[in-house]
Amino acid sequence: MAQGQALLNMKIGSNYLGDNRCEFIVWAPELKEVAVKITAPQERLLPMQKDEAGYWKVTAEGISPGTHYFYKLEGDAERPDPASHFQPEGVHGASQVIDHSTIQWSDDQWSGVPLDEMIIYELHVGTFTPEGSFDAIIPRLRELYEFGVNAIEIMPVAQFPGDRNWGYDGTYPFAVQNSYGGVEGLKRLVDACHQQGIAVIMDVVYNHFGPEGNYISNYGPYFTATYKTPWGMAVNFDDKRSDGVRNYFIENALYWFENCHIDALRLDAIHAIYDLGAKHFLEELSERVETLSQQVGRKLYLIAESDLNDVRVIRDRTLGGHSMDAQWSDDFHHALHTILTGETIGYYKDFGKCEQLATALKESFVYSWKLSANRERYHGNDAKDFPGQQFVIATQNHDQVGNRMLGERLSNLVSFDALKLAAAALLLSPNVPMLFMGEEYGEESPFLYFVSHSDHDLVEAVRKGRKEEFKDFHIEGEFQDPFSQETFDQCILKWEKRQEGKNKALLELHQHLIQLRRTIPALKSLDKQNLEISCSEADKLIQMRRGNQESEIFCVMNFSKQDVTFKPDVADSSWSKILDSADEKWFGAGAKLPEQLNSGQEFTIPPLSFALFGK
């Protein structure tokens, strides 16, 4: 048993040991011969020995950091290391030995950011700045922090083909994208974030490999035909010889935490991680990360993106769950988006009622074993007893914006008043809020899908595939070529707009809402048990009350395009106004609600506005 457990904890890749010594380990259980071929600075061939679990190993002298190498498989094919730490020449080139001890970390006192205090900011390295690099992000960190962000979520940076990609086409999960600055650039960014008080969440993809540079099948049974995914055969997490595959991805997770000081992982589309074994891969992963957390003395988080609406994802392992710390809840986005835009196509056909947004705020999942018209089946289970810090919500993210034909942001679809209302729904909710880069000031540049594959047949397949996806969903507008440099250039943020007119006002409104969330005890606590919500469907009016022993707040949100007269759904009186989005300060038409709110009286709230009261 001890020996079996040891096999599950196998380090892989090139492990530089110092003094020009390096250990190479690769899992290739069905191959008869494997060797390391050093290609630079001087060619050498290093035969490897295979152990009983299928791992090939060799420890070699005279290997300095920066050494380039391939694995030579059965005396023939030369392939990059599937656990390469750097691909300086892209997905088809040689792997490079990295010395992880060279950086001088300055985050010894860093203790992290608690999940329930996070204000997450999702960004794409390539389009967040004109330079499109890790180093170019660093000068903007102070401004992000002063605005209110204390966690950035970086879209995947595993090596992908070319220099333009969302990141989900990565084929080397351990290798940091060369055009962004590689692993050294990432480490500089993480260290700078920690100095600024910002946690770093890394988006990782464990459900598929990208199509170009995907040589991993040359090494072993990384895929299984038992299940199908949108990308083809599923990654092998529970079929024959899956132990090496599971170890590969667990080692990848630990790599980010140990070598790059990442604070949390966002696990992409876990509904496409198929595992019917007695111990699900995610359960095993959470065990290993929990052990590492104890070793490093700070909490390391796992956040799952899931389309399942299933609380087993976050339920404790002792109760049959996977023990993820949190999961995304798309129901909030869909409910809010449909109310504000009126869109009813695609998966939006399941939404459109104001009461669904009220349910998302109160219970996290709208579909909790309810019939879904879009899926044509019952979907989800009940999440209302789980605290808000276990759910990450957003009004925009890379998927919801980028999977539209024109990549329109919410700022292109709704009025300025509606943008302010969306900010309130997000930041006054009892969940963990996530902003998509530029959302805070109403960025209008699109976020389109883009690639830079070198395989022209693959580029054509991508073009055809994206057109097909838009056939029944977001079909308006002219198709934007994913391979075009112009498509990519359109997506670069116009950061300077955050200091102009309405954009500046929207930025300051977000900033003020974040400040209130952090300073008012009733908003700071993400306890849904002390949350009361009512909804008038006819008026599209939501009233929300949150409180604890220290304070109480009352918020009224009008999602209709006309004045609404209402009676506050509170039993007591003397509520003092804290914030009103209709004020001229926020470029509103003028507030109609008084400074003091009393129960039993009727009041009028302007269209597409909100007001926050406290006591």
Residues making up the annotated binding site are 266-271, 330-334, 398-403
Catalytic residue set: 268, 305
Distance CA 273, CA 157 (A): 20
Which is nearest to 588 in space by CA: 507, 512, 503, 502? 502
Distance CA 522, CA 530 (A): 9
Distance CA 89, CA 73 (A): 20
482 in Cβ contact with 469 (< 8 Å): no
252 in Cβ contact with 204 (< 8 Å): yes
Which is nearest to 544 in space by CA: 512, 561, 562, 566? 566
Binding residues for substrate: 266-271, 330-334, 398-403
Task: Show contacts of 38-46: CB within 8 Å, 24+ apart.
Answer: 38/63, 38/67, 38/68, 38/69, 39/68, 39/69, 39/70, 39/94, 40/67, 40/68, 40/94, 41/66, 41/67, 45/72
Taking CA atoms, 118 is separated from 71, 115, 330, 343, 559, in Å, by 42, 5, 18, 30, 27
Distance CA 122, CA 129 (A): 14
H/E element holding 302? strand 301-304
Whether the bond between 41 and the residue before it is cis, its omega within 30 degrees of 0, is yes
160 in Cβ contact with 91 (< 8 Å): yes
Which are the contacts of 417, defined by CB distance < 8 A and separation ≥ 6? Answer: 581, 588, 607, 608, 609
Sign of the Cα pseudo-torsion (182, 302, 431, 270, in order): positive
> Which tokens in the block code for residue 174?
């351990």
Distance CA 464, CA 459 (A): 9
Taking CA atoms, 166 is separated from 123, 192, 452, in Å, by 10, 23, 10
Task: Give the bridge partners for 393, in sequence order.
Answer: 433
Which are the contacts of 473, defined by CB distance < 8 A and separation ≥ 6? Answer: 345, 346, 347, 403
150 in Cβ contact with 118 (< 8 Å): yes
Apex CA 305: angle with CA 300 and CA 308, to 5°?
A: 130
CA-CA-CA-CA dihedral for 74, 75, 78, 82, to nearest 10:
30
Distance CA 243, CA 8 (A): 7
268 in Cβ contact with 205 (< 8 Å): yes
